């Protein structure tokens, strides 16, 4: 296998306590720490391990997002990716359009395996990998917790509601990754310096022609209904009494 | 008036409980017709169960040997071939639906509305974002087909007693052979199903070992409850992945949820926010789980859980 493409989305960091803006127009992002979507980081780690085992020759990271997403791509290069592609858009791009952009790059660069996070932790949509596989007409294996490559096939263990499902897919194909696949490496300072010299290709969204998609409009954001803090009981007897009170014991 | 196609989740013999919840969501629209589509190698028993769900107009079956396992690349083109008669195509926000529905959406040239929590109109829906830290109202275009997944914890099951007609559909759509099912390993248990049980007892990192998790099983058995776990407990290997509750695990809404030794990260809380009563047992009184618990007990779980088990047995 030659080339692995990995998507890296720039999202609000996992540890930030996200708040809805008071006017309901969106999520507070001013001055908030931004990072690689954690699932995408796991996808990249897996791609690097496959390459390090000699089962692939090049790992390419791609992001569709604002100019600042260069930071996340540089982090990806510092982790060990060979080159990066930024498809630049100042406004958010919907999942199907992202899938079509990835498809354009796949056709241009000849990709054998696409590794993506199973969902982004901002919109929690979980659509792009499946959409890419569908429009590409190639296999998908979502929610992967183990990937075993064997030539032009991959055996993927998937975390599904009923347990662990194993499927075999022909390559090229798309695999979306789950949390327990691996633990991503830490980036070391010399790698950050080296990453600055690696190629990062910038493409304006307008230069990639993908068909327009009917827009799902975002009307308003609101904070979730908070659950009220309840009572603290002193001991197990108090707990049992409180449950009986509610008719639950 | 909406015409809604619900793609049924099943295991070949039993209809998944998610279907009655998706039908309940669909029934909340201005629906003229709700059809349930069963793609299977042998649809008989499953179709019969689907026909009993109230509000269902028709059950459509497609029986093909390729449908013996839910491979989305095989199912999606068959659904798409039947979608043109409908204004909406709905599936559950379970791993089955999450895997399949975006493929259907992409083949139809639309984006998907993920995780519908409530319907505000035929094209307007609420859905969670940022692990439930925000609720977003979205409006899908009314001149395109709506493909959506339904957050099943947000809906009560549609009642049953119906006997909708079952019609076999001829669907010879070409399907690919590039994806092959190998096996499914699940921790078989006689306990209630986590996704639908009215009572759930969950354990977290503080259990500290697979052996200690026995305390959770014993309490669950004493209460007739299902067993769940936090991500930390699954990561540590105390329990299998299918027990994980939270943003990336199962989203559940039991009447009673007992969280034991679980600190209560936002990613976990988003999986239980619709629970009726939340009970927390944790020795750290500062644990965030107490901010959402209806009943809290600050105690060492290794003392409290056996005592509670004895009291409830």
DSSP symbol at A15 = T
Q: Is B313 on the interface with A (CB under 8 A)?
A: no
Position B186 pLDDT exceeds 90: no
Position B188 pLDDT exceeds 80: no
Position B187 pLDDT exceeds 80: no
Query: How confident is the model at residue A95, as a pLDDT?
Result: 97
Q: Please, which pLDDT band fits residue A32 given cuts at 50, 70 and 90?
A: very high
Query: How confident is the model at residue A211, as a pLDDT?
Result: 85
Position A81 pLDDT exceeds 80: yes
Q: Is the residue at B191 inside a domain?
A: no
pTM across the whole model: 0.95
Say if CB B266 and CB A202 are below 8 A apart. Answer: no
Biggest alpha carbon–alpha carbon distance for chain B: 61
Q: Is B251 on the interface with A (CB under 8 A)?
A: no
Q: Are residues B204 and B152 in the same domain?
A: no
Q: How many domains does chain B have?
A: 2
Give the domain CATH number at B158.
3.40.50.620
Query: How confident is the model at residue B257, as a pLDDT?
Result: 98
Position B163 pLDDT exceeds 80: yes
Q: Please give the structure tokens belonging to residue A5.
A: 């493409």
Give me the mean pLDDT over the B103-132 stretch: 97
Contacts with A162 from chain B: Cβ below 8 Å = 11, 184, 186, 242
CA distances from A94 to A11, A128, A216, B85, B135 (A): 14, 9, 9, 26, 18
Give me the mean pLDDT over the A200-220 stretch: 93
Helix/strand/coil for B108: helix
Q: Are residues B120 and B266 in the same domain?
A: no
Q: Please, which pLDDT band fits residue A230 given cuts at 50, 70 and 90?
A: very high
Question: Which chain A residue is nearest to residue B270, measuring alpha carbons?
Answer: A224
Say if CB B56 and CB B166 are below 8 A apart. Answer: no
Calculate what percentage of chain B has a pLDDT beyond 90: 94
Contacts with A224 from chain B: Cβ below 8 Å = 128, 132-135, 273
Q: Are residues B95 and B157 in the same domain?
A: yes
* Phi-psi group of A59: left, alpha or beta (phi > 0 → left; psi -120 to 50 → alpha; rest → beta): beta
Query: How confident is the model at residue A209, as a pLDDT?
Result: 79
Q: Are residues B164 and B217 in the same domain?
A: no
Q: Is the residue at B248 inside a domain?
A: yes
Q: Please, which pLDDT band fits residue B170 given cuts at 50, 70 and 90?
A: confident
- Sign (positive/negative) of CA torsion A152, A155, A160, A162? positive
Q: Are residues B130 and B20 in the same domain?
A: yes
Q: Is the residue at B68 inside a domain?
A: yes
Of A134, A224, A236, the CB nearest to B133: A224
Q: Are residues B161 and B12 in the same domain?
A: yes
Q: Is the residue at B289 inside a domain?
A: yes
Q: Is the residue at B119 inside a domain?
A: yes
Q: Please, which pLDDT band fits residue A225 given cuts at 50, 70 and 90?
A: confident
Taken in order of first residue, the domains within chain A and their CATH numbers are: 3-245 (3.40.50.620)
Q: Is the residue at B151 inside a domain?
A: yes
Judge if ipTM > 0.90: yes
Site of tokens 């008669």: B85
| Residues paired with A12 in a beta bridge | A34
Q: Are residues B7 and B92 in the same domain?
A: yes
Q: Are residues B151 and B208 in the same domain?
A: no
Q: Is A212 on the interface with B (CB under 8 A)?
A: no
Q: Are residues B127 and B37 in the same domain?
A: yes
Give the domain CATH number at B212.
3.40.50.1220
What is the extent of the structural domain holding B226?
Answer: 199-312
User: What confidence tens digit (pLDDT) does each residue in B265-304 have?
Assistant: 999 999 999 999 999 999 999 999 999 999 999 999 999 9
């Amino acid at each position: 296998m030659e080339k692995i493409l990995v998507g890296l989305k720039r999202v609000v960091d996992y540890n930030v306590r996200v708040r809805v803006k008071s006017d309901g127009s969106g999520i507070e992002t001013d001055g908030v720490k931004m990072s690689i979507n954690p699932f995408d980081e796991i996808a990249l780690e897996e791609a690097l391990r496959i390459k390090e085992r000699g089962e692939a020759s090049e790992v390419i990271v791609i992001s569709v997002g604002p100019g600042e997403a260069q930071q996340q791509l540089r982090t990806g290069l510092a982790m060990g990716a060979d080159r990066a592609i930024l498809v630049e858009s100042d406004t958010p791009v919907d999942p199907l359009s992202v899938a079509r952009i990835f498809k354009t790059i796949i056709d241009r660069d000849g990709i054998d395996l696409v590794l993506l996070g199973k969902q982004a932790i901002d919109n929690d949509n979980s659509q792009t990998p499946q959409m890419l596989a569908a429009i590409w007409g190639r296999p998908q294996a979502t929610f992967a917790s183990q990937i075993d490559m064997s030539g032009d096939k991959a055996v993927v263990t998937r975390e599904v509601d009923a347990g662990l499902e194993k499927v075999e897919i022909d390559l090229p194909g798309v695999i979306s990754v789950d949390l327990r696949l691996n633990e991503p490496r830490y980036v070391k300072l010399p790698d950050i310096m080296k990453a600055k010299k690696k190629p990062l290709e910038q493409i304006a969204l307008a230069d990639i022609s993908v068909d327009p998609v009917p827009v799902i409009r975002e009307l308003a954001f609101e904070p979730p209904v908070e659950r009220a803090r309840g009572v603290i009981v002193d001991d197990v007897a108090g707990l049992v009494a409180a449950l009986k009170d509610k008719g639950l014991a | 008036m909406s015409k809604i196609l619900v793609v049924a989740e099943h295991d070949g013999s039993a209809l998944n409980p998610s279907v009655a919840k998706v039908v309940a969501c669909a029934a909340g629209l201005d629906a003229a017709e709700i059809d349930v589509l069963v793609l299977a190698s042998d649809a008989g028993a499953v179709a019969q169960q689907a026909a009993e769900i109230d509000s269902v107009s028709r059950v459509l079956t497609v029986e093909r040997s390729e449908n013996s396992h839910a491979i989305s690349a095989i199912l999606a083109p068959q659904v798409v071939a039947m979608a043109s008669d409908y204004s909406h195509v709905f599936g559950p926000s379970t791993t089955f639906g999450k895997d399949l529905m975006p493929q259907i959406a992409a083949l139809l040239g639309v984006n998907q509305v993920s995780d519908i929590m409530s319907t505000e109109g035929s094209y307007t829906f609420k859905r969670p974002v940022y692990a439930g830290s925000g609720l977003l109202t979205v409006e899908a275009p009314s001149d395109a087909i709506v493909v959506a997944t339904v957050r099943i914890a947000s809906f009560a099951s549609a009642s049953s007693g119906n006997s909708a007609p079952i019609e076999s559909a001829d669907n010879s759509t070409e399907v690919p052979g590039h994806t092959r099912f190998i096996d499914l390993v699940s921790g078989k248990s006689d306990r209630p199903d986590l996704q639908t049980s009215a009572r759930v007892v969950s354990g977290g990192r503080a259990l500290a070992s697979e052996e200690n998790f026995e305390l959770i099983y014993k309490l669950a058995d004493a209460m007739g409850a299902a067993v769940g776990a936090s991500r930390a407990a699954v990561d540590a290997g105390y329990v299998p992945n299918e027990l994980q509750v939270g943003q990336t695990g199962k989203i559940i809404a039991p009447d009673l949820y007992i969280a034991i030794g679980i600190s209560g990260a936002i990613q976990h809380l988003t999986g239980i926010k619709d629970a009726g009563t939340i009970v927390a047992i944790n020795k750290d009184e500062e644990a965030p789980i107490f901010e959402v618990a209806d009943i809290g007990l600050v105690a060492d779980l290794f003392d409290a859980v056996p005592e509670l088990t004895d009291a409830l047995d």
